[in-house]
Amino acid sequence: MFGSVTGGPRVIAGILAGMTGLVTLCLLEKERKMPPVPIILWVCIFVLVVFGWYMTINARADHSMALWIFVPVEGRPLNFDWAPGSVALSSSLRVVVEVTLIMIALVAAVRTAESGAWRAVLKTIAILGALVALTGFLHKALGARTVWWIDDELSRAGFFFAPFVYHANAGAFLNLCLPIAIALSLSEGDSKKGRSWAMVWMLISVLLIAAVFATASKGAMAILVVLLPFIFVLNFKRMAVVVGGFFLDRRRRVERMAFVVILWMTGIVFVALGIESSLDRLDEFMSRFDDDQRESLNGRVPMMQLMLRMIRPDEGSWHGFGPGSFPHLVPYFTATQETGEKAVLSGRWLHGHSDPLQTIVEWGYLGAAAWFLIGVGAVFCAIYLLKGSKVSRQDLPLVRGMIVALVMVGLHSCVDFPLSLLSIQLVALLMCGICWGLFGVYRRERKKEKALAGE
């Protein structure tokens, strides 16, 4: 896996995600019907797919990266000059194909809630997080200068971790997987097999925590500091039972010894490979509060201000400039009347370091609202399931883990661009689909109970 693939490889990754979703739907065909999720989810999916394709088909122009000019599109299938259209046809086409495919994966995730398949999806996510962490430590141990030693201009030593060319996105992915790994360790039963799996998931959790610090990403470490206490508070009772049984049960001496040995080994690896750069980045982060000239803090604020100008009613408005158009727009908005041809922001900006604002720039108010409702709606569905006995005691930690993961990646996306990456976006959408699906399953069971009570 290459964490921030672009262009053709990213389309291939999207195709694989869509095909996996279709296969999942086919395998679950003999199961019960699709969970009766709120219609707002289907409306949001419809809006994103149809509106995205419309903006692409009715594209006004395509952008030439070589000449850095907008070239009018000739012979459009839809020639609605009075209606909005994308200003970057090629980029929009790639994005809408990708969105269509990952929406299939989202629907498949909703469908898994009818059976135990959704738990397998979460286990896969936790394992992927562990693989990313191990890959990152392997790169550091072998002194890799680029991702997988592949010559890439975006991959620079000190700025990548594992398959992610930008270490902050690696940290965001690990933080997205961590609550799930911890939740899996708490959701296993009290049998000997369940305890063994619980220890495996807990060791994966420790590995993920160490890897977040090894990424040396300030944002990821800050999110982790908030994330861990949040998880402990939500699962305090269950954690007290699990931890108490682990340390007090005399029959589990071998498990305790194995856990301590592996924990020490993980700590030694972390100290050897990641703590130096992590401490340097932490010291740099703290020094930024005393140094107003630092580029990282000050560079993002002007970009956010620029995006606020892009989304004004007389600019992007309700329709936006088209999916995937952001990198093509920045140079044309950085020169103002006050500065003339002198750009207020230098360099090439592929991302706006604020996913919510960049989404509004590209998708407009309409598309951004659809993305927002899918994510926030999933969180509210999961929170609703926590009240009463709507899910089993074994599944409660998993639902809480998804809430924490989605909230934290949402907060991180406000000051960076994790959700602009297909891998993180796909994992987040799978969790959203599971939350919507579990809520739909509960609604169906509730209707059955009311029907039986009325007889």
Mean pLDDT in each 10-residue stretch from start to end of the chain (455 residues)? 54 77 73 79 96 91 76 70 83 92 92 88 94 86 74 63 84 94 83 76 89 83 89 81 62 63 66 55 50 52 87 88 89 61 62 91 95 96 86 89 95 90 93 95 80 65
Q: Rounded to two decimals, what is the model's pTM?
A: 0.86
- d(Cα 280, Cα 286) in Å, to the nearest integer? 10
DSSP 357-424: HHHHHHHHHHHHHHHHHHHHHHHHHHHHHHTTTSS-TTTHHHHHHHHHHHHHHHHHHTSS-GGGSHHH
CA–CA gap between residue 327 and residue 167 (Å, rounded): 20
Q: Which of 6, 355, 359 is nearest to 164 (CA)?
A: 6
CA atoms within 13 A on the CB side of 300: 15
| Cα(148)–Cα(134) distance, integer angstroms | 13
**C-beta of residue 437 within 8 angstroms of C-beta of residue 114:** yes
116-119: which pairs have CB atoms within 8 A and are 24 or more residues apart?
117/24, 117/28, 118/434, 118/437, 118/438, 119/395, 119/398
* Per-residue model confidence (pLDDT) at position 290: 45
What was the pLDDT predicted at 174? Answer: 95
pLDDT at 270: 59
pLDDT at 291: 46
Cβ atoms of 425 and 17 within 8 Å: the answer is no
- pLDDT at residue 1 in the model: 40
**Per-residue model confidence (pLDDT) at position 32:** 60
Rounded Cα distance between 208 and 206, Å, is 5
Q: What is the pLDDT of residue 2?
A: 42
